[in-house]
Amino acid sequence: MQVVIKPDAAAVAKYGAAIFIQQIVTKPDSVLGLATGSTPLALYQQLIDAYRVESVSFKQVKTFNLDEYLGLAADHPQSYRYFMQQHLFNHIDIRIEHTAVPNGNAPDPLHACNDYERQITAAGGIDLQLLGLGRNGHIGFNEPSSGLQSRTRIKTLTAATIADNARFFQPNEYQPHLAITMGIGTILDARKVVLLATGSAKAAAVKAMIEGPLSASCPASALQLHQHAVIVIDEAAASELTDMAFYQHIERENEALLRQLKR
C-alpha cells in the first residue's frame, strides 16, 4: 500500500483527481471503476472542472460503478445511476452507453450479477478503481464477513450501513436493505486502486485497513494484497495510525525519488 496523508478533505480530493486525470491523459480509452457516496463528490467536481478547461476528455473512457441498491430503478433519485448522472456524467463528454451501473431493478438479479462480471471482462478489465471506505471497513457494499475473493453478487447491508445511508432517504421513503456490489475479488482485479477516506469517523477503519490483520472483519484490509493500491486520507482519518509521521516520511521520500527520476 502507498499511504498518502493530506491535511484536509479538499487536498485528498485534489490528489485523487490528479491520479484519474493522469490515467485518462496517458490512456484515453481507460476503463474506470467508480464509487458513490459523499467522499467522491469533491473528486468528481475536480474532474468536471478539468474537463471544462479542456485538460481532459472522457469521450473514449468506459466506466463501471461499484454497486447499486436492489429494487431501485435507474431514474429513482436515490439510485446510484441517478447519483452518477447528477454528479458526474451529465457534466462531462462521456458517452452514456459507455457507463455501466449494476441493474438494481433487473428481473433476474442473479443473472445481472454474472452479466456485470462478463461486461467488465469484455471491456478488458478495470484500469483504475476508485473506492470509499465505510466506517465498518466495507468497500463497495462488501460488508464485514465478505469473502476476500468474492465476485459481483447480492449483499445484505448491515444495520450500521443502513443507518449511515439513511440520511440520503426521506423519513417515510423506502430504503433498500439489499444491494448488488462488485466483489472484493473483482475490486482486486483492477490494475490500480485509489481509496479515499476523510474525517475522524473513518479513523478506526483506516487503522484496521492499513495496520490490522488481513481479515474479512475489515473487508478493506484485502487491499494489503494489491500490488498498486493508493490510500489517500486526511489527517483526521489518519489519527489512529500507530505512527502517522512515519507514513508521511515515506511519502516524502517517494516524492523525492520521483523528482530525481524525472530529471
Q: Grid coordinates in use for 226?
A: 494489491
67 labelled catalytic: yes
**Amino acid making up residue 37:** G
Instruction: Report whether 209 contacts 137 (CB < 8 A).
Output: yes
Q: Grid coordinates in use for 209?
A: 485497513
Instruction: Report whether 206 contacts 238 (CB < 8 A).
Output: yes
What lies within 8 Å, CB to CB, of 89 at 6+ separation is 96, 99
- CA dihedral in degrees (22, 226, 155, 151; nearest 10)? 90
Q: Grid coordinates in use for 74?
A: 435507474
Q: Grid coordinates in use for 82?
A: 441517478
142 labelled catalytic: no
143 labelled catalytic: yes
Q: How is 49-64 classified by DSSP, letter by letter?
A: HHHHTTS---TT-EEE
Distance CA 63, CA 79 (A): 17
The active-site residue, picked from 68, 127, 143, 189, is 143
The active-site residue, picked from 65, 103, 136, 142, is 136
Q: What is the CA radius of gyration of the chain?
A: 18
The active-site residue, picked from 105, 127, 138, 234, is 138
Q: How is 157-219 classified by DSSP, letter by letter?
A: PPHHHHHHHGGGS-TTS---SEEEE--HHHHHTSSEEEEEE-SGGGHHHHHHHHHS-SBTTBG
Active site residues: 67, 136, 138, 143
